[in-house]
Amino acid sequence: MSRILDDFAYGNLSTTPPFNRNSELYRAMVKANDIAEKLLAKLNSEEKAMLEKLIEADFEIVALTAIENRVHGYKLGVMMTAETFITGQE
């Protein structure tokens, strides 16, 4: 057991799945990038700066949400495991 915890602590284990270029996520990212490029081409420098700030703020929201979801999922998994041991059910 400690081997898994050691690997996780030293960054040898990742909770991030491998990136799949055939996934819906990839297609959505390509679509968002295409739209952003078209929009940026139509904006002046002040508008571009505002859009970039909006994109950065959105990225921060997404990153923080991902962290919260990961922590919540881990806690939920631990509670499920504990319940299995406490109740003795499989």
pLDDT at residue 1 tops 60: no
- Same domain flag for 36 and 51: no
State pLDDT tens for residues 29-63. 999 999 999 999 999 999 999 999 999 999 999 99
- Residue 86 has φ and ψ, to the nearest 5°, of -70, -45
- Same domain flag for 38 and 50: no
Residue that wins the pLDDT comparison between 84 and 5: 84
- Same domain flag for 50 and 90: yes
Q: Report the C-alpha gap between 83 and 80 in whole angstroms.
A: 5
- Same domain flag for 4 and 16: yes
For the chain, percent of residues with pLDDT exceeding 90: 57
* Domain span including residue 33: 1-42
**Which pLDDT belongs to residue 87?**
79
- Same domain flag for 55 and 28: no
Q: Please, are residues 51 and 40 in contact by the beta-carbon 8 Å criterion?
A: yes
- Same domain flag for 28 and 6: yes
The pTM of this model reads 0.62
- Same domain flag for 54 and 83: yes
- Same domain flag for 7 and 22: yes
Q: Please, are residues 65 and 73 in contact by the beta-carbon 8 Å criterion?
A: no
Look at the chain and report how many structural domains it folds into. Answer: 2
